Structure 1
């Protein structure tokens, strides 16, 4: 197989078209088209469906792109490392991370990482959706309790728990009385929260009064005394320490794990390995208190 033609195929697939690839790289569009056609002829496969205004990978083309893109990147990085006389992390590192982790810690983490590795160009996108690492060209994806994916491997680097918190001015409900509640996302008209304290377990009936889209908004509403809420312990620790919020106990049987995911491959690039090691250094115990320290 012609590696140059394969590289041009990956270039076109990554940019989503011959014209876009040509503009991004300064290569002639006709050359890219000819190389891809030659590759299709040598494989006796159609790799792209060509329309009047669109270019789409075939099933065989997508499989080839997913399996060869990472290998070509590794070859390029290996050549650059040998040429520079070492394996110092360098080049672009694209990361997708969830909203809460990005808001509370990732800014400081990213700043420390680029100070330590100044030859790495770090790009971070904040989103909670499940991204396609191969299709969208991410090197690392950080997710909370991700679904199993055989195409990815990963490491847990942080654990967290949910606690029920409220303003000190909000009285705890007596008996089966409901407490006004703030929720992240939709909530039933009445829910039962199983809560554990040092004195034992009890059930709390929660009546929703406010629904918002982020835990930071939940925390701010609880600070204002609107109601009680379930918050990640890491987010609540600073306010619990100052007395701005009080804890009514931990939510029974609920733990989150923060994973760093990356495509399955035998050799990781130096910059991905460096970032994974940096996360381990930042959270050596993987405890919520370590994450809370970034919010000070």
Structure 2
């Protein structure tokens, strides 16, 4: 049996359409259709029911592909084991994360990864949209959120905290707010994401949680640009700790409320590594996951 054909048909199953599989494989949809038809002909059964609007697995197709998928993954694992040069991981790892996290989180550690694993090529896809891993042919994603839901496997990379910060020259001009409620009258810098745009949340040990409605004339959809606006003294901003750690250390930004926990929608947020739910995880992907977890577990110096 042609394993490449099986992989193509499994991709059709996972993405729910011939067109989606064709985009992921960067081939014409007609090629995928021929592969599917050829496999059905060889098996003597119909794997999918087709209509003008919908593609759905038949009962026989569901049983067959569910049995075959682990075998295909095991064959890939066996091939990787015997072809890896000296047992060293090799190949290409395709990884996506937000533009800010790629620049501030991944780029500083990438040289060390390439030194340790010279036979692995890393393809980075910075995007502030949540790309579909299967549809885009991606191995990993780093997502900044509360505990993720869905079919992807997740592992926590680092816990994140948010701080309200401003530049010293802004505070010289406007004065430093003494409490979070003072933000309501200021020209705040707002992140163009749900939960960040209109209200910020605060809590303090021994007191309850409360929300401050914020407003401001500058709304930005990119965290790096939002940080730069804060650096330029344009107003207070709510930013993640990993993005502003150096600015706080160097005095370019000031933490306005160090005694408070700050958040937009959720206090319990983190950076998560996500990858497709499957039994076989290639060695090249495993070493990338382990490397990132080790790097972000290491205390800053």
Decide whether aligned partners of structure 1 residues 229 and 82 sit closer, same or farther in structure 2, where only a CA change above 3 A counts: same
Is 1:237 the counterpart of 2:245? The answer is yes
Q: Determine which of 216, 220, 231 is the counterpart of 2:224.
A: 216
SS in 2 for 1:235: helix
TM-score (norm 2): 0.73
Report what 1:166 is aligned to: 166
Higher strand share: 1
Q: Where do 1:1-296 residues align within 5 Å? A: 3=3, 5-7=5-7, 9=9, 14-16=21-23, 20=27, 36-41=36-41, 42=43, 44-45=45-46, 47=48, 58-60=55-57, 72=72, 74-84=74-84, 87-145=87-145, 147-149=148-150, 151-169=151-169, 170=171, 171-173=175-177, 178-185=185-192, 191=199, 193-194=201-202, 196=204, 206-249=214-257, 250-252=260-262, 254-284=267-297, 290=300
Question: CA, structure 1 residues 258+65, in 2 after alignment: closer, same or farther (shift >3 Å)?
Answer: farther
Distance 1:17 1:139 in 2: 12
- TM normalised by structure 1 equals 0.74
Give the gaps of 5 or more residues in structure 1.
23-28
**Residue matched to 1:25:** none
> Within 2, Cα distance between the matches of 1:174 and 1:7?
60
Offset, 1:181: 0.5
**Runs of at least 5 residues in structure 2 that lack an aligned partner in the other structure:** 13-17
The alpha carbon displacement at 1:91 in A equals 1.2
Task: Give the C-alpha shift of residue 259 in structure 1.
Answer: 0.7
How big is the alpha-carbon RMSD for the aligned residues of Structure 1 and Structure 2? 4.1
Size of the aligned set, in residue pairs, is 276
